[in-house]
Structure 1
Amino acid sequence: MTKTLLALHVLAAIIAVGPVAVAGSMFPVAARKAAEASERHEAIAAVRVLHRICRVYALIGLTIPVFGFATASNLHVLGSAWLIASIALTGIAALVLALLVLPAQVRILAGLTDSPSTAAAAASGVERALTARLAMLTGSFNLLWATVTVLMIVRPGSTTGV
């Protein structure tokens, strides 16, 4: 049973975090291009798709801690320092995504669809500032997940770790 739970945990992490990491990283660039595009309809549609990917896979990502806790419970490692650190970092990553990244994407999308003049939007620099901040937040989210991944593999203090 433990191997099945671990496999489901790892699969959930790969399937959920990967698309959010990639689509989230692509969003700021796509939003900048959409703001400057002469034919905005298709460019904005692409930005909407990237946001939808982030939103849907974030919800799918809720299965990661469910399988993770079940696996850790079966392995009797719930009190391990590396696991507690991983749980804390996962929680921070989830908060960054839910409270900062996704709302920023919504604000940028609203600015793209509300602004009739691309020249005015580009001249104001507002989109550039928002997308730059979003790129930093998305990078932070990705770095948090990379750290969790390393902790899960190395497991400091574990007798089975590297």
Structure 2
Amino acid sequence: MTKFLLAVHVIAAIIAIGPVTVAASMFPPSARRALAEPHDPRAVETVRLLHRICRVYATVGVVVPVFGFATAGTMGVLGDAWLIVSIALTALAAVVLVAVVLPRQTALLEGAEAGEGAETGKRLTAQLAMSTGIFNLLWATVTILMIIRPGSTTGA
């Protein structure tokens, strides 16, 4: 059962978190382009699509910690420090995504749809790029912790 839960957890992380990190990273430059070219419908459509990918996969991503907890429970590692740190970083990544990244994406998308100029979103796209970088760094750290698992018996 542990191997099944672990496989589902890893597959869910790849399928759900991967698209969010890629789409979120692509969003700021795409938003800058859409704001700089307000009459280009393809630029706005790209931003709209990237935002939708982020929203949908953020919702789907809820299964990652659910299966992570189930896996940790069957492995008996729920009290291990590396897992507690991973849980905290995952929660922080979720907060960054839901409270910072997605709202800023929404604001930039609305600005692009309204035909606002590049100056309007310049500061917001820079802040979004930084927030997205923090989100991605948090996930990279969690991934590293999951692979290394300090104190594990894998010899890594």
For residues 38 and 122 of structure 2, the distance between their equivalents in structure 1, rounded to whole angstroms, comes to 17
Paired positions, count? 156
- Asked if structure 2 preserves the Cα contact closer than 8 Å seen for 1:154 and 1:161, the reply is no
Q: Which residue of 2 aligns with 1:136?
A: 130
1:38, 1:139 → 2: CA distance? 26
8 Å CA contact 1:28, 1:132 repeated in 2: yes
State the superposition RMSD in angstroms: 1.1
Number of the residue aligned with 2:12: 12
Partner in structure 2 of residue 97 of structure 1: 97
Q: Distance in 2 between matches of 1:14 and 1:36?
A: 33
Q: CA deviation at 1:128?
A: 1.1
- Residue identity opposite 2:149 in structure 1: R
The 1-side partners of 2:121 and 2:155 are apart by 45
Give the 3-state SS of the residue equivalent to 1:78 in structure 2: coil
Counterpart position of 1:27 = 27
**2:42 and 2:147 mapped to 1: Cα distance?**
41
Of residues 144, 149, 153, the one that matches 2:143 is 149
Q: Give the drift of 1:25.
A: 0.4
Query: What is the aligned partner in structure 2 of residue 52 from structure 1?
Result: 52
- Partners of 1:108 and 1:161 lie apart in 2 by 47
Match of 2:71 in 1: 71
Task: Tell me if the contact between 1:153 and 1:161 (Cα under 8 Å) persists in the aligned partners.
Answer: no
Within a 5 Å distance, the mapping from 1:111-122 to structure 2 comes to 111-115=111-115, 121-122=117-118
TM, length-normalised to structure 2: 0.96
**Residue 41 of structure 2: aligned partner:** 41
Taking only the aligned residue pairs, the percentage that are identical comes to 62
Which structure 2 residue ranges, 5 or more long, are not aligned?
none
Contact 2:78 2:84 (8 Å CA) reproduced: yes
Q: 2:93 touches 2:139 (CA, 8 Å); kept in 1?
A: yes
List structure 1 runs of 4+ shifted beyond 3 angstroms: none
Change (3 A) 1:161 1:132: farther
